[in-house]
A and B are shown apart, each in its own frame.
Chain A
Amino acid sequence: DTGVSQDPRHKITKRGQNVTFRCDPISEHNRLYWYRQTLGQGPEFLTYFQNEAQLEKSRLLSDRFSAERPKGSFSTLEIQRTEQGDSAMYLCASSYSVGSSSYEQYFGPGTRLTVT
């Protein structure tokens, strides 16, 4: 399967715990995006990387959230001291970009986080 993969698919954690999600993009894609999606809503942008550089972060990305893409390939999203409001689907997408232009995004299956 050469699509975008995410791990884990589901995560249940207790409030206050830290969680980390992983995203493996399509191999030739240089851009990687993280989104959060709550029930009945469209995805909300969190952050994106161009290769290993994190170029933009949304105001939704509080200081409890950190994302990395150390070698320009896979990425991790960590949430520290989770809160119940963090419960959502976390989606990763990747795309190929040339200069400042990004082509179609391909989404992964998402990681469903439940904070109890």
Chain B
Amino acid sequence: KNQVEQSPQSLIILEGKNCTLQCNYTVSPFSNLRWYKQDTGRGPVSLTIMTFSENTKSNGRYTATLDADTKQSSLHITASQLSDSASYICVVSANFNKFYFGSGTKLNVKP
């Protein structure tokens, strides 16, 4: 069964601290993996997209890693800011055609 699981479900950190969000998947055949940021009441916005051959990709303070062997990905946020408070959703594509969404990690950055 194609599934995407994210952990933790929610996370509270202090402004300026780093954090890492996890995504495990069983989607096959794997095409690519995306991380989205979703602010409350808004649509998701893409942060990174990674294909099978990519191990790491950065977008400013966001760094995503992918281990295609263990089917795990992580999103690392450096020097968190209050504006990072949002839900982060991992999405895995199969056959470049179907998209499987995780339930998201809700991040709360406190001053």
A contact set with B: CB distance below 8 Å: 4, 33, 35, 40-45, 89, 91, 93, 100-110, 112
Contact = CB atoms under 8 A, between A and B. Distances in A.
Interface residues of B, number: 23
Given A109-B43, A110-B43, A40 B103 contact: yes
Contacts of B42: 109-110
B12 interface: no
A103 B87 CA distance: 22
Give chain B's interface secondary structure class. Answer: strand
B78 interface: no
B102 A42 contact: yes
B30 interface: no
A107 B101 CA distance: 13
A45 B99 contact: yes
A35 B44 CA distance: 12
Interface in B21-48: 31, 34, 36, 41-46
B104 A91 contact: no
Interface string B89-107: 1010101110101111010
B99 A105 contact: yes
B109 interface: no
Contact of A101 (B36, B49, B96): B96
